[in-house]
Chains A and B, each alone.
Chain A
Amino acid sequence: MAKTMTRGTRFVLFLLAVATFSAPVLSDLILAKVERRIDLTSQIVRITTTLKVENTGSDPVSEVLLTFPDNQANHLAYLTVTVNGGKGKGKASSGGNLPVGVVHPEGMPPSLTTYSVSLPKGLGKGDSLLLDVLAVFTHSLRPIPEKITQSDIQLVLFQESAHYLSPYDVKVQSLSVKLPDARIESYTKLENTKLHGSEIKYGPYENLSPFSYLPIVIHFESNHPFAVAKELIREVEISHWGNVQVTEHYSLVHAGAQSKGEFSRLDYQARPYVRGASAFRRLVARLPPRAHSVYYRDEIGNISTSSLWGDSKKMELEIEPRYPMFGGWKTTFTIGYGLPLEDFLFAVDGKRVLNITFGTPMKELVIDNLFVKVVLPEGSSGISASVPFPVKQRQETKISHLDVVGRPVVVLEKSNVVPEHNVHFQVYYKFSCLSMLRKPLMLIAGFFFLFVTCVVYMHVDLSISKSSPTYLAKLQWEEVQTNIQQLCNIINRCLTTNDKLEASLRDLSRTGDVQACKTTRKSVDNLLKELSKELKPLLTFLQSAPQAAHIAPKVEELIAKERELQERLMAKHSTVVDCYEKKLGGREIENRISSHQQKITALRQEVDDLLEFIDEI
């Protein structure tokens, strides 16, 4: 602590020396009125300055210089200058942000960083202009003491100049510092210093020469989360099937006062706000509306302490790290969510545009290094990104599910990111809808070839030795099986023919048409003859094949039974037909055929059983 203080003091002395000796070089402009408001309520320091610039020289001036000491400029994360057009304070500035760039003008004292603001139009003689400057600094609150125990509160120190540091003369300037609602350990008391509640006012001070510098130091309590993401990788992956998947990898640290001594879980659990005032245990992320499938995890698994609620306008995700974050403690985690594609992807003259926010959805989080990776679908071309502030850009490829050449990735890199950077940026690319079908087609083709290989494998003979006995036996057995199959078919056909005969008999009893019955009989006879002819070679093969030895008797039995069944049926048929020709009564016919009928039923049963038996081989 002592060390930093001395460094600060030395720097101030040096500045004063500079201020005294250097001649004003750019003094056509004067600042008629400077109002500065410093917001210290969070870890991010926001300085809003309203400048009234007046041109006292003769030439029109088109740029205004802003200076910051180097130690501040190093921490400067965000700087915008807007023209305050209207009188009303709340009114939005017209014309948007003015372009700002770093310049190194001659004659500037060293250890100052100078930014030049280009005015929209030259400032003529005697004209004046109101400018709003918003400067956002990170890491400018220094915890003093640097190490605290679990139950201590966290005190931070802020250094600034009570005078507005500027290369121009300042007529009137005032400064107000807003502090969090907590204890103020000490602050530099100058003339005109007032303390109202949690706000300290310095000034107004009048007629300050250029580069005047009057250090002030404020030492106060701040228990707001000092959450700093050392690195954040946001991956935005576009799927044209309707989803934008955002994955954010955080590597977080509590950048406040280091924790020392031991940590007692029990104390913390019992009185978290007394015994862990400096720790933060939760972070809130504001996700876009209609975010879905939100997850929160780290390398070792899901983290169960999170909650999500939302309505049509927003989704809020509250996450708790695995342990309360004390000073200096680190953690890493990943959150991910899906967004509906139609909210973020648009088509603009033949190109597609992704329009999505740049920064993190977390509130009041400082990011030291932010990588935004936009993963475009495979086959995208003509890729360009447009971001409203300077970033490093490069391209790489990522190989993910079912990729052949990989997906193009646009990487945007930016350091020192604050919530003010959370604006929309655009990525333009070309992508044809047909490429969408590539992956399903690939899958289909893959499965198709898999099945084709299976089919080929099943049908191709892969045995090495074509003359080995097992192989021959296998072949023979297959032949036997096909023969049996054919044989069974023929028997089945015989059986159906028999059924036809039966049907003709039934017709006969209904219609009494003997002639039709006889024709059926004739055709059936022919059919059966043909079938028995077909049967012969099969049977001889089965009898000769050695492997069918155990089946052959059964087959023979089947054929014999079937023949008997046929004969019986024929006999029954001729009897019935005879009877009809002789015009015998129904009773008589029944009596005559009853013996046949019994036998037929029994035979039919046996044939069926035999068929089933052979079928199961």
Chain B
Amino acid sequence: MAGKSEPLNGVKSGSNQSSPAAMQASALQADLSNIFSLKSFKLKTKQQELLIRVSILMLVYVLAFITRLFSVLRYESMIHEFDPYFNYRTTVFLTEKGFYEFWNWFDSESWYPLGRIIGGTLYPGLMVTAALIYWVLRFLRFAVHIREVCVLTAPFFASNTTLVAYFFGKEIWDSGAGLVAAALIAICPGYISRSVAGSYDNEGVAIFALLLTFYLFVKAVNTGSLAWSLASAFGYFYMVSAWGGYVFIINLIPLYVLVLLITGRYSMRLYVAYNCMYILGMLLAMQIRFVGFQHVQSGEHMAAMGVFFLIQVFYFLDWVRHSLADAKLFQAFLRITVTTAVSVGVIALGVGTASGYISPWTGRFYSLLDPTYAKDHIPIIASVSEHQPTAWSSFMFDYHVLLFFFPAGLYFCFKRLSDATIFIVMYGLTSMYFAGVMVRLILVATPAVCLISAIAVSATVKNLAQLVRAKSKAVHSGSSKGTSTVKGSSKGLVDHSQPFQRNGAIVLLLGAFYLLSRYATHCTWVTSEAYSSPSIVLAARGAHGNRVIFDDYREAYFWLRQNTPPDAKVMSWWDYGYQITAMGNRTVIVDNNTWNNTHIATVGRAMSSYEDEAYEIMRSLDVDYVLVVFGGVTGYSSDDINKFLWMVRIGGGVFPVIKEPDYLVNGEYRVDKGAAPKMLNCLM
């Protein structure tokens, strides 16, 4: 990054330094050629800047892509982790059978014996995107495999995100901040963790869509143009089709509008932008079957609707105020209207909720607002490691110096308040809160953190560079006229205060560049060491420094695929469900789409019952094979023994027969000889 913002300033100052020199030279040399060189030089400064900007953007674009290829280099071109396997499987289905089959797909291979209506219970954005890329490449006669497309989708969209970040930064601050934002987000570990090659998950596409929607909305608010607003509605549609995190958008934007209304920044531009975006976005979002009518029926979406009505009331009042000359009359009218509007709204909400038309908030939503909620009420959410509250270390790990630039950027934003900066401030603050609640939401906060930090970096560097440049210019203009002895007295005045200022500026600049280069090093290190593991293949260093690869998961899945009857049912803990269906191609009882808590609890109960009871449960589920993971030999820590307490808790949550204390000895979890008798004799 450091190297990226440098040339921009370097060339700017360079052009200034060299223009007097060029004039001197022109005086000495032949006239005509100099006229041309000078003319073309002068003409080019703007083009040069454009050229540099475009080439920096392109470099950032490429950088964002290749830094995510560490996982392919260190391991192989494969799909990572758990959910991506489901996405991969559905994408393969989509490319093979076509869109309509996909839309109507009833999958009997998972959630046996219930099955799952895939078409109606997923966000199809990612799969359709990958399939489109695949079809386009096929059409252009590039015989690629769908797996390669899926593996590289996330890096590709990460690259696109850098472009959006550039334009967003340009919109809220200036093009310098945009460039810095693009460079920062290209390598920010918080984002890389979800978008390395092979991490074929919704988030990879969704962050692009999220940022795009926000950018287009801010653009629409800034310009008041219907076209931008429409574009942002489509961005929102894409986001809805890609990820459940769209709820963040549909709550943040109304909140932003509300803040603008309260702070008296209401304008026609805002009215146009919000109305168009909300109405069209809502209608478009209803086309996604998984979302359906939630926009008008679910409690989580009511804020947007409320603000929509509020802004109509506002507009109406505005119009009335224009028509009514008498201020007193208007005050009375205002009071009546506001009271009526609020009471109508409250009554509508109350009736809707009471009659069950408007569904209450879901557990996930509660757990976002209140970090302790999930622990007490929904163990299945709490059991996922990425739903844990975030530790400080992971903030540091994922943001590094951005954590320090973030408050500085907030300061700059507050100093130059505009509609756009208010938005980015709100986005930053809310997403930071959510990032603190759940580890995985660091991802959502990352673009905001990068943008705000970019503002800080860009503004600081610009100010400092101006100081440095002003001085050097003065020196130059002085020295260029060697014959003249007298200088402007005004310049002498400035000179007295400048040495200290200039040195200070240089030191600060160097410090900023040092921090940024540390950031770049840190990001590369984190990407290559921490975030590139597919987590399905494990690599370790052997005693002699050689690389040892543990590929036991795939060994097991491939054995299932090859050597079991095609209709065999495999019972395992839900973590492995997607992988078994995708790699083992066998029917599973439960999988990572934890939509049916009871079913998971049944499996948990089977796992934690005595063997004869467990046998009965498994017979009732037609189970042919049981897959358990034991990491004791190789020292793999996240095996089923480690997860066992969660099985007990989730099982116990539905079937009170299972009690957690039965498996503990004096409140401790032991797995050795001293373990609780029930623990020793259960199926696990």
Contact = CB atoms under 8 A, between A and B. Distances in A.
A394 B26 CA distance: 77
Interface in B34-59: 34-35, 38-39, 42-43, 45-46
B142 A329 contact: no
Interface centre among A322, A332, A495, A602 (most CB of B within 10 A): A322
B555 interface: yes
Interface centre among B34, B555, B562, B633 (most CB of A within 10 A): B562
A302 B555 contact: no
Interface residues of A, number: 45
A329 B76 contact: no
A399 B143 contact: yes
Interface string A315-340: 00000001100001111100000000
B73 interface: no
A401 B148 CA distance: 15
A496 B142 contact: no
B484 interface: yes
B551 interface: yes
A38 to B, nearest CB: 33
Nearest to A297: B76
B76 A322 contact: no
Contacts of B557: 300
A328 B564 CA distance: 11
B19 interface: yes
Nearest to B144: A401
B555 A598 contact: no
Contacts of B633: 266
Contacts of A608: 19
B411 interface: no
A601 interface: yes
B143 A401 contact: yes
Interface in A396-415: 399-404
B554 A400 contact: no
Contacts of B19: 608
Contact of B28 (A332, A503, A594, A598): A503
A299 B92 CA distance: 13
A322 B477 contact: no
Interface in A280-315: 298-305
Nearest to B23: A499
A605 interface: yes
B27 interface: yes
A271 to B, nearest CB: 15
Nearest to A500: B31
Contacts of A601: 477, 481, 484
B673 interface: no
B678 to A, nearest CB: 25
Contacts of B488: 598, 602
Given A402-B141, A402-B142, A598-B484, A496 B562 contact: no
Nearest to B582: A300
Interface in B538-574: 549, 551, 554-555, 557-559, 561-563
A615 interface: yes
B31 A496 contact: yes
B78 interface: yes
B325 interface: no
Given A301-B78, A402-B141, A496-B26, A331 B558 contact: yes
B486 interface: yes
Interface string B514-546: 000000000000000000000001000000000
A489 interface: yes
A27 to B, nearest CB: 54
A598 B484 CA distance: 8
Contacts of A616: 46
B464 interface: no
A322 B558 contact: yes
Contacts of A266: 633
Given A302-B76, A304-B549, A323 B559 contact: yes
A492 B39 contact: yes
B583 interface: yes
Interface in B135-168: 141-143
B585 to A, nearest CB: 9
Nearest to B32: A496
Contacts of A301: 76, 78, 537, 554
A231 interface: no
Interface in A585-612: 594, 597-598, 601-602, 605, 608, 611-612
Nearest to A446: B140
Contacts of A496: 26, 31, 34-35, 38
Nearest to B554: A300
A493 B39 contact: yes
Contacts of B27: 499-500, 502-503, 506
A597 B484 contact: yes
A493 B558 contact: no
Interface string A506-536: 1000000000000000000000000000000
Given A506-B27, A616-B46, A332 B562 contact: yes
A522 B637 CA distance: 92
Contacts of A594: 486
Contacts of A404: 141
A176 B537 CA distance: 51
A488 interface: yes
Nearest to B556: A323
A404 B39 CA distance: 50
B486 A598 contact: yes
Interface centre among B19, B35, B537, B583 (most CB of A within 10 A): B35
Interface string B1-45: 000000000000000100100010011100100110011001101
Contacts of A402: 141-142
A302 B28 CA distance: 69
A611 B23 CA distance: 15
A399 B141 contact: yes
Contacts of A298: 558
A322 B559 contact: yes
Contacts of A399: 141, 143
Contacts of B555: 322-323
B96 to A, nearest CB: 14
Contacts of A489: 39, 43
Interface in A464-507: 485, 488-489, 492-493, 495-496, 499-500, 502-503, 506
Interface centre among A330, A496, A616 (most CB of B within 10 A): A496
Nearest to A611: B42
Interface in B452-493: 477, 481, 484, 486, 488
Contacts of B23: 495, 499
22 contacts: A300-B583, A301-B554, A304-B549, A322-B551, A322-B555, A322-B558, A323-B559, A329-B563, A330-B563, A331-B562, A399-B141, A401-B141, A402-B141, A492-B39, A496-B31, A496-B35, A499-B26, A500-B31, A502-B27, A506-B27, A608-B19, A615-B42
Closest 7 CB pairs of A and B: A302-B76, A304-B549, A322-B555, A503-B27, A301-B78, A330-B562, A300-B583
Interface of A: 266, 298-305, 322-323, 328-332, 399-404, 485, 488-489, 492-493, 495-496, 499-500, 502-503, 506, 594, 597-598, 601-602, 605, 608, 611-612, 615-616
Interface of B: 16, 19, 23, 26-28, 31, 34-35, 38-39, 42-43, 45-46, 76, 78, 141-143, 477, 481, 484, 486, 488, 537, 549, 551, 554-555, 557-559, 561-563, 583, 633
Given A401-B141, A616-B46, 20 more contacts: A298-B558, A300-B78, A300-B558, A301-B554, A304-B549, A322-B554, A323-B559, A329-B559, A329-B563, A331-B562, A332-B562, A399-B141, A399-B143, A489-B39, A496-B31, A496-B38, A502-B27, A594-B486, A601-B481, A601-B484
